[in-house]
């Protein structure tokens, strides 16, 4: 069936593509946009000819192609954080023209003033529901413990919620945390967080840009329902060897980069490591003689990124990317109990970029990704190991073809071989008196082909339509589906655009988690047997206004998303090492709708944005498999449902050396479940009766609203040596020290002498008070 579906679709696609080319003589202007000084490619830069209303953006290699009529043209090039350039050219033949953009400021890149063309480009593109962020932008904002976090910066954008205080998980337009596709240079990252979600794995020093798609997904993306987070790593300085880094409150960073021989490419190696464990080990050492001293567990995480690119010839480039990151947690008690817990991702990808001609180029990549965790316990002579992993090998190829000045076509295919090690258990005794093990593995193959066309029907009307055909196979179980995608933009006036989009998505792999949060022990599971693929559809409409001579962009987007076969788990589900995991799933439906209002200012000494989201997210899991479903089959709000979400981000360049930054967040209270009743449980013997909570409903209680102000100051230091740069970043997280709710629990008040329970009370726990921090960054 999926095969037949594929051929049918391919036929339909070919029919849908324009069969006649508009007979018009055009010349090609193409080239690269790079950064002055480092020669780094700038993907996502805008090249526009405002007089003609034509424009293009650079691809991953910073390459662009524009089809223009002959004659003199004024070309404008812009990119976030760089000074825009305007150049007049006389186009008499196909021409190669590359641009080198100067960064706005020669500090460590912490000053962002976007090119003036950017908001206009945003107004004109068909793509809506997308947020672009550069590492330079994220580094400006105040951060928890001074640890710059790209995902937390994305949480400040409308339509994106966090999963709780300080966590880096993304909940996009009512989607759950496992419905986000994280890509690093085209390779999937399965668990993007450290320390149970408090920090993301993306080292900002190694990242160039992040694109977050909330809807209107381009056809080349598939496999997750709610968002695509496309992360591009920095290629490295191809002009000279550079060292940069930083010392922070909890971690240090070091990045080395430089050109390859003959200046045919560049390389970059970047590392980050926390040092809680250095201090806790010293504390343990000082107290090791105390009898009642319980050692503090060791904990650290690290990230290691590497990238290299090499120009094979005029038309060929290769890119190699690697990432390795782990969290390591260890606990060794004096009574013989040892507990080691480590988890992390390993990612590698190789990409070959080939330019056939000025209108057609292709990217072909092979990637490997693995996420695994291992828990090792030892108690006296017994040992116990539990581990799990997901391992993928992927191949993909993506063609970009500028058919003419009206049609830009993309097509390609992707294939992934998944290996799911859902549970490996090994228990044994030192004396080999017994050994026991269990290993549960599944395989799955996922494939997708797609084609799309960006069609400029007129100066006012632009369409992007495409189709993706996806399929998944696990053993003898096969699934497949059509994923139509469409987007339209109509320019009502040069300063007002109306937009709309639609996307259907399938998700064939599922995160097995009933924690309500993203934990390292969550495992991925293939669609198989009764676990059918998740599916969602989303429509969104929007209107954008360019205000104040292009200084401000006001955007309003309205979305509605509906999803089938959403997953959850029955109460008491056994998720570890369960060969019959299928029977623990529950399936339901989901709905999300809302309105996102977004005002941005990206030029001048004061920049920033205001975002307000009004949203609803609902789910319903009816009675099934001998259960009463969830919430007795009634519709409920998942805990990441927030009615109101307001963010205000302001950045102000006070002087040449000082930048002030701030961000403010207000969100409605998190939906949570509290026990409504309790009963006394005596057990077989009544030695210790206990109060057992009764939870008849799901998420009916709302925590208090959340609000927080963060402040930051970036101070550029005078250079100690020529060519060197350094700065200090002061951050204050939760500046007015609000006790935001993290969770609420019920407690007993007991008589101190008799231990008799006197009454019950509700307690609210907060996680972070005001936290000041300072980070020192350097570059030479």
**From residue 179 to residue 208, what is the string marking binding to other proteins with x (rule CB under 8 A)?**
----------------xx------------
Please, which residue, 445 or 632, has the CB nearer to other proteins? 632
Question: Mask of contacts with other proteins, 138-167, x by CB under 8 A?
Answer: --------------------------x---
Residue pair 171/640 in contact by the 8 Å Cβ criterion: yes
- Site membership for other proteins, residue 583 (CB under 8 A): no
Q: Quick one: 56 or 195, whose CB is closer to other proteins? A: 195
Q: Using the rule CB under 8 A, is 707 a contact of other proteins?
A: no
- Part of the chain binding other proteins (CB under 8 A), chosen from 286-294, 376-384, 546-554, 641-649: 376-384
At 150, list the tokens: 């790209």
Determine the distance from the C-alpha atom of residue 109 to the mean position of all C-alpha atoms in its chain, rounded to a whole number.
22
Q: Which residues have C-beta within 8 Å of that of residue 551, sequence separation ≥ 6? A: 119, 601, 603, 604
With a CB cutoff of 8 Å and minimum separation 6, the contacts of 752 are: none
Question: Binding residue for other proteins (CB under 8 A) from 744, 776, 778, 780?
Answer: 744
- Helix or strand run (H / E) with residue 8: helix 2-16
In the block, tokens 């004096």 appear at: 334
Looking at 70, 287, 334, 682, which residue binds other proteins (CB under 8 A)? 682
Closest-CA residue to 380 (of 312, 439, 334, 323) = 334
Question: Per rule CB under 8 A, is residue 723 in the interface with other proteins?
Answer: no
C-beta of 623: minimal distance to other proteins in Å?
Answer: 12
Can residue 293 be called a binding residue for other proteins (CB under 8 A)?
no
Residue 144 is classified by DSSP as G
- Closest approach of other proteins to the CB of residue 178, in Å: 15
19 binds other proteins (CB under 8 A): no
- Of 3 and 282, the one with the shorter C-beta distance to other proteins is 282
CB of 163 to other proteins, least distance (A): 10
Taking the least distance from each CB to other proteins, the nearer of 289 and 549 is: 289
Stretch that binds other proteins, among 113-121, 382-390, 641-649, 707-715 (CB under 8 A): 382-390
Closest distance to other proteins from the beta carbon of 250 (Å): 12
Q: How far is the CB of 667 from other proteins (least distance, A)?
A: 17
Tell me the torsion sign for CA atoms 115, 121, 123, 129: negative
Q: Which of 263, 571, 623, 719 binds other proteins (CB under 8 A)?
A: 571
Q: Where are the alpha helices (DSSP H) in 59-196?
A: 117-124, 135-140, 150-154
Q: Specify whether the CB–CB gap between 525 and 531 falls below 8 A.
A: yes
The pairing of beta strand 771-779 with beta strand 193-194: unpaired
Instruction: Report how far apart, in Å, the C-alpha atoms of 176 and of each of 315, 330, 494, 581 are.
Output: 42, 30, 37, 20
Separation CA 281–CA 273 (nearest Å): 16
Given a contact cutoff of 8 angstroms between Cβ atoms, the answer to whether 722 and 765 are in contact is no
291 near other proteins, judged by CB under 8 A: no
Minimum gap (Å) between residue 202 Cβ and other proteins? 21
Alpha helices in 206-262 (DSSP H): none
Exactly one of 26, 83, 284, 331 binds other proteins (CB under 8 A); which one? Answer: 331
Q: At a CB cut-off of 8 Å and minimum separation 6, what does 11 contact?
A: none
328 interacts with other proteins by CB under 8 A: no
Under the binding rule (CB under 8 A), the answer on residue 281 touching other proteins is no
Please tell me whether residue 332 binds other proteins under the rule CB under 8 A.
no
Q: Does 14 bind other proteins (CB under 8 A)?
A: no
Instruction: Work out the widest C-alpha separation in the chain, in whole angstroms.
Output: 96
Asked if 623 touches other proteins (CB under 8 A), the answer is: no
Strands 706-716 and 658-667: antiparallel
* Binding of other proteins by 275 (CB under 8 A): no
Report the residue from 379, 461, 492, 720 that binds other proteins according to the rule CB under 8 A. 379
Q: Which of 692, 719, 720, 736 forms a contact with other proteins (CB under 8 A)? A: 692
Distance CA 94, CA 227 (A): 38
Stretch of 33-41, 169-177, 333-341, 363-371 lying at the interface with other proteins (CB under 8 A): 333-341
The smaller minimum CB distance to other proteins, of residues 7 and 746, is found at 746
Given 71, 623, 724, 769, the residue binding other proteins (CB under 8 A): 769
Specify the DSSP element, H or E, that contains 15.
helix 2-16
Instruction: By CB under 8 A, tell whether 759 contacts other proteins.
Output: yes
Tell me which residue of 247, 255, 251, 258 sits closest to 271, measured CA to CA.
255
Q: Is 578 in the site for other proteins (CB under 8 A)?
A: yes
Lay out the site mask for other proteins across 511-540 (x = CB under 8 A, - = otherwise). Answer: ---xxxx-xx--------------------
Across 518-675, the runs of DSSP E, i.e. the strands, are 523-526, 534-547, 552-569, 585-601, 606-620, 644-653, 658-667, 671-672
Which residue, among 459, 410, 453, has the nearest Cα to 49 in the 3D structure?
Answer: 459
Among 100, 635, 697, 707, binds other proteins (CB under 8 A): 697
- The alpha carbon of 640 is separated from its chain's Cα centroid by a whole number of angstroms, namely 17
| In the complex, minimum distance from the CB of residue 741 to other proteins, in angstroms, rounded to a whole number | 8
Q: By CB under 8 A, name the one of 430, 681, 719, 736 that touches other proteins.
A: 681
The stretch among 62-70, 267-275, 457-465, 564-572 that binds other proteins (CB under 8 A) is: 564-572
- Which one among 623, 693, 719, 724 touches other proteins, defined by CB under 8 A? 693
CB 737, min distance to other proteins, A: 11
Instruction: Return the C-alpha torsion angle 83, 88, 92, 93, nearest 10.
Output: 0
| 767 near other proteins, judged by CB under 8 A | yes
Rule CB under 8 A: say whether 18 interacts with other proteins: no
Regarding 282 and contact with other proteins (CB under 8 A), the answer is: no
What is the distance between the alpha carbons of residues 549 and 417, in angstroms, rounded to a whole number?
51
- Which DSSP state fits 295? P
Tell me how far, at minimum, the Cβ of 514 lies from other proteins, in Å: 5
Q: How far is the CB of 276 from other proteins (least distance, A)?
A: 10
572 binds other proteins (CB under 8 A): yes
| Shortest distance (Å) from residue 149 CB to other proteins | 17
d(CA 177, CA 638): 12
Distance, in Å, from the CA atom of 444 to the CA atom of 392, rounded to the nearest integer, reads: 9
The only residue of 249, 254, 296, 324 in contact with other proteins, by rule CB under 8 A: 296
Size of residue set near other proteins by CB under 8 A: 92
764 lines the binding site for other proteins (CB under 8 A): yes
| Pairing outcome for strands 187-188 and 180-184 | antiparallel
Tell me if residue 272 falls in helix, strand or coil: strand
Q: Is 527 within 8 Å of 479 (Cβ atoms)?
A: yes
Measured between alpha carbons, how far is 774 from 717 in angstroms, rounded to an integer? 14
Estimate to the nearest angstrom the gap between the alpha carbon of 497 and the chain centroid: 28
* 457, 676, 720, 728: which one binds other proteins (CB under 8 A): 676
- 463-482 binders of other proteins (CB under 8 A): none
Binding mask 429-448 for other proteins (x = CB under 8 A): x---xxxx-x----------
From 302, 352, 368, 382, residue interacting with other proteins (rule: CB under 8 A): 382
CB of 180 to other proteins, least distance (A): 19
Closest CA to 171 of 641, 587, 596, 699: 641
Residue with tokens 């629990």: 745
The dihedrals phi and psi of 647, each to the nearest 5 degrees, come to -130, 140
Token pair of 583 as six digits: 């029977």
Q: Mask: binding to other proteins, 231-270, rule CB under 8 A, as x and -?
A: ----------------------------------------
Q: Which residue has the tokens 């676990």?
A: 531
Nearer to other proteins, 543 or 744 (CB): 744
């Amino acid at each position: 069936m999926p095969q037949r579906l594929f051929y049918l679709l391919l036929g339909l696609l070919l029919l849908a593509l324009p069969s006649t080319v508009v007979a018009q003589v055009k010349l090609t202007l193409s080239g690269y946009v790079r950064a002055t000084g480092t020669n780094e490619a700038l993907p996502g830069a805008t090249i526009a000819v405002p007089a003609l209303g034509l424009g293009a953006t650079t691809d991953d290699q910073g390459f662009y192609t524009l089809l223009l009529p002959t004659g003199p043209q004024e070309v404008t090039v812009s990119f976030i954080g760089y000074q825009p350039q305007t150049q007049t050219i006389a186009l008499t033949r196909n021409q190669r023209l590359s641009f080198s953009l100067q960064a706005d400021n020669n500090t460590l890149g912490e000053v962002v003033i976007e090119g003036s063309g950017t908001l206009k480009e945003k107004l004109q593109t068909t793509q809506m529901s997308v947020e672009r962020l550069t590492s330079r932008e994220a580094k400006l904002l105040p951060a928890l413990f001074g640890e710059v976090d790209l995902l937390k910066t994305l949480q400040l954008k409308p339509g994106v919620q966090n999963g709780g205080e300080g966590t880096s998980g993304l909940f996009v337009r009512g989607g759950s945390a496992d419905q986000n596709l994280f890509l690093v240079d085209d390779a999937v990252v399965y668990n993007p967080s450290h320390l149970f979600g408090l920090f993301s794995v993306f080292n900002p020093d190694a990242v160039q840009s992040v694109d977050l798609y909330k809807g209107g997904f381009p056809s080349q993306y598939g496999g997750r329902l709610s968002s695509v987070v496309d992360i591009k790593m920095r290629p490295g300085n191809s002009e000279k060897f550079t060292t940069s880094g930083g010392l922070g409150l909890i971690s240090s960073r070091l990045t080395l980069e430089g050109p390859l021989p003959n200046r045919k490419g560049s390389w970059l190696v970047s590392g980050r490591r926390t040092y809680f464990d250095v201090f806790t080990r010293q504390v343990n050492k000082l107290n090791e003689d105390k009898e009642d001293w319980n050692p503090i567990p060791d904990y650290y995480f690290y990230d290691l990124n590497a990238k290299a690119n090499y120009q094979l010839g005029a038309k060929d480039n290769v890119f190699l990317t690697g990432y390795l990151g782990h969290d390591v947690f260890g606990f060794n008690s004096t009574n013989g109990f040892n507990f080691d817990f480590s988890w992390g991702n390993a990612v590698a990808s190789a990409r070959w970029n080939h330019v056939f001609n000025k209108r057609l180029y292709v990217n072909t990549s092979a990637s490997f990704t693995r996420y695994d965790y291992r828990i090792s316990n030892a108690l006296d002579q017994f040992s116990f190991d539990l581990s799990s992993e997901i391992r993928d090998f992927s191949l993909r190829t993506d063609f970009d073809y500028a058919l003419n000045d009206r049609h830009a076509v993309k097509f390609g295919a992707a294939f992934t071989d998944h290996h799911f090690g859902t549970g490996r258990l090994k228990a044994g005794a030192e004396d080999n008196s017994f050994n026991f093990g269990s290993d549960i593995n599944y395989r799955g193959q996922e494939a997708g082909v797609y084609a799309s066309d960006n069609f400029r029907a007129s100066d006012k009307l632009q369409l992007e339509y495409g189709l993706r055909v996806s399929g998944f196979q696990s053993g003898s179980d096969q699934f497949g589906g059509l994923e139509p995608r469409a987007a339209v933009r109509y320019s009502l006036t040069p300063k007002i655009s109306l937009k709309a989009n639609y996307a259907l998505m399938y998700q064939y792999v599922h995160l097995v988690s009933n924690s309500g949060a993203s934990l390292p022990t969550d495992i991925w599971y293939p669609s198989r047997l009764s676990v059918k693929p998740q599916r969602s559809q989303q429509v969104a409409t929007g209107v954008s206004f360019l205000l104040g001579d292009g200084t401000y962009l006001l955007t309003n987007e309205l979305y509605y998303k509906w999803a089938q076969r959403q997953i959850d788990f029955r109460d008491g589900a056994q998720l570890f090492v369960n060969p019959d995991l299928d029977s623990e799933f529950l399936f339901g439906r989901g709905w999300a709708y809302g309105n996102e209002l977004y005002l941005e200012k990206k030029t001048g000494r004061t920049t920033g944005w205001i975002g307000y989201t009004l949203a609803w997210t609902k789910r319903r899991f009816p009675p099934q498999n001998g259960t009463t479903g969830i919430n007795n089959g009634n519709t409920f709000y998942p805990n990441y449902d927030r009615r109101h979400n307001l963010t205000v981000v302001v950045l102000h360049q006070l002087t040449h050396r000082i930048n002030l930054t701030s961000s403010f967040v207000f969100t409605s209270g998190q939906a949570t479940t509290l026990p409504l009743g309790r009963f006394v449980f005596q057990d077989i013997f009544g030695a210790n009766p206990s109060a057992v909570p009764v939870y008849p409903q799901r998420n009916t209680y709302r925590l208090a609203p959340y609000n927080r102000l963060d402040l930051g100051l970036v101070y550029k230091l005078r250079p100690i040596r020529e060519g060197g740069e350094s700065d200090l970043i002061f951050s204050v997280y939760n500046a007015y020290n609000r006790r935001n709710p993290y969770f609420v629990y019920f407690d007993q008040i007991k008589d101190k002498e008799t231990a008799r329970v006197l009454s019950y009370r509700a307690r609210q726990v907060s996680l972070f008070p005001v936290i000041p921090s300072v980070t020192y960054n350097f570059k030479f």
